[in-house]
Amino acid sequence: MNDRYSRQELFNPIGKKGQTKLREKSVLIVGAGALGASSAEALTRAGVKRIVLVDRDYVDWTNLQRQQLYSEDDARNQLPKVIAAKNRLQMINRDVEIQAHVMDMGIEEAEELISGIDLIMDATDNFETRLMINDLAQKYQVPWIYGACVGSYGISYTILPGEGPCLNCLLDKIPANGQTCDTVGIIAPAVQMVVAYQTAEALKILVEDFQAVRRKIVTFDLWENQQMQLGMEKAKKEDCPSCGANPAYPYLERKAELKTAVLCGRDTVQIRPSYNREIDLEEMERRLVSHGKVRRNAYLLEVESDSRRFVLFKDGRALVHGTKNTAEAKSIYNRFIG
């Protein structure tokens, strides 16, 4: 056991001093899908003190192609992802404390979970949650690492509160075309590449080697053999409501949350985004045609699959028929819309 971390300690930027720091640090990972599961495994093997995992979903057969902590038994039993992850992670390293929360993390839960956290890892599937994480990180001065992947494309960016722009500053700089793994697919190497960038940055922050932290956004497309880094220093906005001179943290306000309502007597959940967004219904039809029967007119698009019917309007509002479970409805919305 004494030489468990010996190869990591031989790496000079970490060393024994850095390993000691890792054993003092706590990481919050929001999402236990492809990115979250792999990041949690890497940090568990690295020997951090505590990992807090949050996810609302259970293991599905479609996850097994890229979500490396999970097994066929987990999918067969529909085990919540964070429970399955905790079971596996404790087999890997019992010295690491794993806290598993089966929940749809909202503002109230986020404010509770941030206590004692040294770093937040983004492994989510939607910008609503990412912007909440961003404001949470700015408010409590906790570093966080943004990451996303779809198809063969990936992106990562490290945000240090008080240094450089935050995610809110960069909203008009980051591609957000609405593609999701459920609409255009994903290959496992794209996941692992993002995880490599995220966890490398995580180790730098956790051992407090802030000089080594990358200040640029990195993007890549493995299939197209493309990679790019973009400097973001000039993107910082002094009037940014999240990190500017007078921060208001707008995404920690209730009105910023994705709004859900169970429609009386209709076994239907209505979902409204916190801001108006123009949906290209024709493009969305092309993406969703493989998910079931799709119908579209000038005002809305309808997808019928299994026992669920998903109706999307041009302003981003949606009706999810066949359920009264708001968490399930939000999950379906984010799978299709991103």
At residue 275, the pLDDT reads 66
Determine how β-strand 119-122 pairs with β-strand 26-30: parallel
Q: Identical fold at 6-252 and 258-337? A: no
DSSP per-residue codes, 20-39? HHHTT-EEEEE--SHHHHHH
At residue 198, the pLDDT reads 98
Q: Is 44 helix (H, G, I), strand (E, B) or coil?
A: helix
Beta bridge partners of 99: 52
Q: What is the pLDDT of residues 279-317, one digit of tens each?
A: 888 888 888 888 788 888 877 888 887 768 888 888 888
C-alpha dist (Å) from residue 201 to 108, 113, 307: 28, 22, 42
At residue 203, the pLDDT reads 98
The span from the first CA to the last CA of the chain, in angstroms, equals 43
At residue 190, the pLDDT reads 95
* CA atoms of 284 and 310, how far apart (whole Å): 12
Classify residue 303 as left (phi > 0), alpha (psi -120 to 50) or beta. Answer: beta
Alpha helices (runs of H) in 166-267, residue ranges in sequence order: 181-184, 188-206
At residue 126, the pLDDT reads 80
Closest by alpha carbon to 70, among 183, 78, 45? 78
Q: What is the CATH code of the structural domain delimited by 258-337?
A: 3.30.310
At residue 174, the pLDDT reads 59
Beta bridge partners of 240: none
Enumerate residues 6+ apart whose C-beta is below 8 A from 337: 126, 178, 180, 279, 312, 316, 318
Residue 200: burial class (beta carbons within 10 Å; 0-12, 13-18, 19+): middle
At residue 123, the pLDDT reads 95
Q: Say which CATH architecture domain 6-252 belongs to.
A: 3-Layer(aba) Sandwich (3.40)
Q: What is the pLDDT of residues 102-134, one digit of tens each?
A: 887 888 899 999 999 999 999 998 888 899 999
How many other CB atoms are there within 10 angstroms of residue 230's CB atom? Answer: 13
pTM of the model: 0.81
Enumerate residues 6+ apart whose C-beta is below 8 A from 99: 50, 51, 52, 53
* CA atoms of 324 and 270, how far apart (whole Å): 10
How many other CB atoms are there within 10 angstroms of residue 290's CB atom? Answer: 12
* pLDDT tens, N- to C-terminus, the chain (338 residues): 579 999 999 999 999 999 999 999 999 999 999 999 999 999 999 999 999 999 988 898 889 999 999 999 999 988 899 999 999 999 999 999 999 998 878 888 999 999 999 999 999 988 888 999 999 999 999 999 999 999 999 999 999 999 999 999 998 655 555 677 777 889 999 999 999 999 999 999 999 999 999 999 999 999 999 999 999 888 999 999 999 999 999 999 877 667 777 776 668 888 888 666 678 888 888 888 887 888 888 778 888 877 688 888 888 888 888 888 888 888 888 877 76
At residue 178, the pLDDT reads 63
Q: In the chain, where are the structural domains located?
A: 6-252, 258-337
Q: Are 168 and 322 in contact (CB under 8 A)?
A: no
Beta bridge partners of 145: 121, 158
- Tokens 């949906």, located at residue: 279
At residue 279, the pLDDT reads 82
